């Protein structure tokens, strides 16, 4: 309690240390207010000189000679002279021509002191003549508001000034007859009331300024700092790069944009949890900041960082950054991948340069031992496709270039069609037919995947609706969901409104989520999946066995169907271990109460083996490649596929 009280007193008196930012803000505020106040002073002094000149030269019966005129106006000239110096200083300081703040303080203190001496001098004469000491009051007020110091300085200064001056007036003022003049008690009360009021004004202005400074310091910090790590953010990066590239002395081709990605960071997050992951990112970011201190550096997002550096020192930077990562992650293997791009001209924006560096970096993903790749002309074509995808996804959705292809899924025991997987294709007027490999990861990277997926889900529901309307048997469809779909849209709401709109029984829609999406224990994703399951949609775990965290995922989530990745099928015949693993996976799924599906079945031997070990469903080129809806219907009509009567999960 006492500590709190003392601390607030210390704060009130301004005894706490201000940050550099607050100090600078206060000095700048003093410069601004002194500029306005002093300009006003210049006008007043000029007016006073004109008035005195009129009175003693033009209107007087005997015009004053030059020395007499100067004697009458010397104080005004003095003030005018100092005021002009102060204004010149203020203007030069504001324009950045003078940097020294000490010089400014000295100039302003001299000016305030001069004003006070002038006020005291004039008021002393007035006091002796029995008049009010208005001039002193005005000048004291002027000086106190002209410069705002820390409260304790203002208190000491004003108290000494007022007590000192009243002592001086009381002891050294005599009227014309030589009788000592003493301040009346009523005037004395007003005198000290003014002192207290002035102190309070000075304190309140000071705190007001500090609050303003703290707020704008915080805003400035937020604007340029990355929330999680505290290193510069992309806004800061953008402004600094623009500044650098705008400098005519900088040759763009001497510079290099770097994009850095920490490969396998996701595994670190999965294994050690989010909190540890964040801590790791903070450490790495701050150590990278040190590495790139001669250049411009920022965190772009997730585990991605960017820098603009001198090309000549490229290897040094990359080696240092690689070493930082090697030192910081004893528990999990992670590697640094770096992409580079050297701008061709200064007009290339930092966004496009970082994108190119990122693109080059993406090309060495999972390439063991390769740390750096620089963007070159040969990459232009595929890079432009990437840009094209990002820029045209809306149009592609709108104009129907996004198409759903259906790949048959059959029961392993009788080969009858028990469902289809909906797979996206982009039939573009410029680039032609594009497979998901070309656009899914790009859309995910740019957080646009939900636009495509929403379009796919709607088309699937529409096709199913047509089947129902036309009296055909409904073929259940499984659809792919990206982890980001759950962040970028309300999947539960989207799916429920689609099945309502197209009047589709929910059990015919299966939601496929890849195991890699589920590694992190994201509360919101888990909640959404549980909710979808409660509502009657079946949940399928896709690509099981292709990632690192499969078993964890099975422990933490509930799935209806386990889709085994096709990795186990390559050379199945010769690879006994793969056969055993497959058998174990099917057995484990069975024990966990899940049905099974193996994808990528291309040979009848693989199909036979999978049937033997009890895998329920099969999907692969052996049964059919992904095809348009009309083709699928046609094949069913032609008897190529027989739709099962068996009820699915």
Size of the site for Mg ion (CB under 5 A): 4
| Binding partner of residue 407 among ligand C2E, Mg ion, none, CB cut-off 5 to 8 Å per kind | ligand C2E
Judged by beta carbon, residue 374 or residue 543, the one nearer Mg ion is 543
Instruction: Give the DSSP letter string of 26-56.
Output: HHHHHHHHHHHHHHHHHHHHHHHHHHHHIII
Judged by beta carbon, residue 292 or residue 629, the one nearer ligand C2E is 629
Judged by beta carbon, residue 438 or residue 506, the one nearer ligand C2E is 438
> How would you class 272 by CB atoms within 10 Å of its CB: exposed for 0-12, middle for 13-18, buried for 19 or more?
middle
Smallest separation, CB 422 to ligand C2E (Å): 6
Q: Which of residues 400-459 bind ligand C2E (CB under 6 A)?
A: 407, 423-424, 435-437, 440, 449, 453, 456
Other C-beta atoms closer than 10 Å to the C-beta of 199 total 18
Quick check: 485 binds Mg ion (CB under 5 A)? no
How far apart are the C-alpha atoms of 170 and 106, rounded to whole Å?
Answer: 31
Quick check: 602 binds ligand C2E (CB under 6 A)? yes
Judged by beta carbon, residue 253 or residue 570, the one nearer Mg ion is 570
How far apart are the C-alpha atoms of 440 and 423, rounded to whole Å?
Answer: 11
> Which listed residue (30, 38, 123, 482) binds ligand C2E by CB under 6 A?
482
Quick check: 263 binds Mg ion (CB under 5 A)? no
Per DSSP bridges, beta strands 509-514 and 538-544 are parallel
Q: Which of residues 511-550 bind Mg ion (CB under 5 A)?
A: 512, 542-543
Quick check: 460 binds ligand C2E (CB under 6 A)? no
Query: For residues 38 and 86, is the Cβ–Cβ distance under 8 A?
Result: yes
Q: Near ligand C2E by CB under 6 A, which window of 283-291, 493-501, 572-580, 595-603?
A: 595-603
Quick check: 598 binds Mg ion (CB under 5 A)? no
Smallest separation, CB 479 to Mg ion (Å): 8
Query: For residues 592 and 554, is the Cβ–Cβ distance under 8 A?
Result: yes
Quick check: 161 binds ligand C2E (CB under 6 A)? no
Quick check: 355 binds Mg ion (CB under 5 A)? no
How far apart are the C-alpha atoms of 342 and 120, rounded to whole Å?
Answer: 68
Quick check: 226 binds ligand C2E (CB under 6 A)? no
- Judged by DSSP in three states, 399 sits in helix
> Which listed residue (203, 542, 606, 629) binds ligand C2E by CB under 6 A?
542
Angle between helices 604-612 and 576-591 (to 10 degrees): 40
User: What Cα–Cα distance (Å) separates residue 491 from each residue in 177, 289, 454, 530?
Assistant: 98, 38, 9, 12
Quick check: 550 binds ligand C2E (CB under 6 A)? no
Instruction: Give the DSSP letter string of 72-109.
Output: HHHHHHHHHHHHHHHHHHHHHHHTTS---HHHHHHHHH
Quick check: 515 binds ligand C2E (CB under 6 A)? no
Query: For residues 514 and 486, is the Cβ–Cβ distance under 8 A?
Result: no
Q: Which residues of this chain interact with ligand C2E, rule CB under 6 A? A: 407, 423-424, 435-437, 440, 449, 453, 456, 480, 482, 542-543, 599-602, 619-621, 626
Q: Which residues of this chain interact with Mg ion, rule CB under 5 A? A: 480, 512, 542-543
């Amino acid at each position: 309690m006492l500590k709190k009280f003392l601390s607030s007193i210390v704060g009130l008196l301004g005894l706490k240390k201000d940050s550099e930012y607050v100090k600078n803000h206060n000095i700048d505020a003093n410069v601004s207010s002194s500029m306005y106040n002093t300009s006003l002073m210049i006008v007043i002094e000029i007016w006073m000189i004109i008035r005195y000149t009129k009175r003693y030269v033009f209107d007087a019966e005997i015009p004053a000679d030059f020395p007499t005129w100067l004697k009458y106006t010397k104080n005004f000239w003095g003030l005018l002279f100092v005021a002009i110096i102060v204004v010149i200083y203020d203007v030069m300081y504001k324009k950045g021509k003078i940097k020294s703040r000490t010089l400014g303080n000295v100039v302003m203190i001299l000016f305030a002191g001069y004003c006070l001496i002038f006020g005291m001098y004039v008021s002393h004469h007035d006091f002796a003549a029995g008049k009010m000491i208005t001039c002193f009051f005005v000048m004291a007020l002027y000086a106190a508001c002209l410069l705002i110091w820390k409260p304790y300085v203002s208190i000491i200064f004003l108290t000494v000034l007022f007590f000192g001056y009243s002592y001086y007036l009381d002891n050294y003022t005599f009227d014309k007859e030589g009788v000592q003049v003493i301040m009346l008690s009523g005037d004395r009360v007003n005198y000290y009331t003014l002192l207290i009021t002035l102190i309070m004004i000075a304190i309140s202005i000071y705190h007001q300024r500090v609050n303003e400074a703290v707020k704008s310091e915080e805003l400035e910090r937020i604007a340029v700092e990355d929330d999680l790590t505290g290193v510069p953010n992309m806004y800061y990066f953008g402004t600094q790069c623009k500044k650098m590239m705008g400098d005519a002395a900088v040759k763009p081709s001497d510079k290099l944009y770097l994009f850095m990605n920490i490969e396998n960071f996701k595994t670190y997050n999965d294994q050690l949890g989010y909190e540890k992951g964040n801590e790791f990112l903070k450490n790495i970011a701050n150590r990278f900041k040190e590495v790139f201190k001669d250049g411009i550096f920022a965190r772009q997002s997730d585990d991605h960082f960017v820098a603009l550096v001198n090309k000549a020192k490229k290897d040094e930077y990359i080696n240092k950054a690689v070493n930082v990562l090697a030192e910081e992650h004893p528990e999990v293997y992670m590697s640094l991948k770096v992409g580079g791009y050297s701008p061709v001209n200064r007009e290339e924006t930092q966004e496009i340069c970082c994108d190119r560096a990122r693109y080059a970096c993406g090309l060495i993903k999972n390439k063991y031992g390769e740390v750096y790749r620089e963007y070159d002309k040969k990459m232009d074509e595929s890079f432009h496709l990437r840009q094209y995808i990002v820029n045209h996804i809306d149009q592609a959705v709108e104009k129907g270039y996004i198409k759903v292809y259906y790949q048959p899924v059959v029961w392993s025991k009788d080969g009858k069609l028990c469902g289809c997987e909906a797979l996206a294709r982009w039939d573009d007027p410029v680039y032609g037919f594009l497979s998901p490999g070309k656009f899914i990861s790009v859309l995910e990277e740019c957080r646009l995947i939900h636009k495509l997926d929403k379009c796919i889900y709607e088309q699937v529901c529409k096709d199913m609706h047509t089947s129902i309307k036309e009296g055909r048997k409904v073929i259940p469809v499984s659809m792919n969901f990206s982890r980001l779909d759950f962040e970028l849209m309300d999947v539960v709401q989207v799916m429920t409104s689609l099945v309502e709109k197209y009047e589709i029984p929910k059990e015919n829609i299966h939601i496929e989520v890849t195991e890699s999406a589920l590694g992190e224990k994201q509360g919101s994703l888990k909640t959404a999946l549980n909710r979808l399951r409660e509502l009657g949609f079946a949940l399928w775990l896709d690509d099981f066995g292709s990632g690192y965290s499969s078993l964890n995922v099975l422990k933490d989530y509930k799935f209806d169907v386990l889709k085994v990745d096709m990795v186990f099928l390559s050379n199945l015949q010769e690879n006994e271990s793969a056969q055993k693993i497959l058998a174990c996976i099917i057995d484990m799924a069975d024990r966990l109460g899940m049905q099974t599906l193996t994808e990528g079945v291309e040979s009848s031997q693989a199909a036979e083996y999978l049937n033997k070990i009890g895998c329920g469903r099969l999907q692969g080129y052996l049964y059919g490649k992904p095809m348009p809806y009309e083709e699928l219907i046609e094949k069913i009509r032609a008897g190529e596929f027989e739709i099962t009567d068996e009820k699915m999960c």
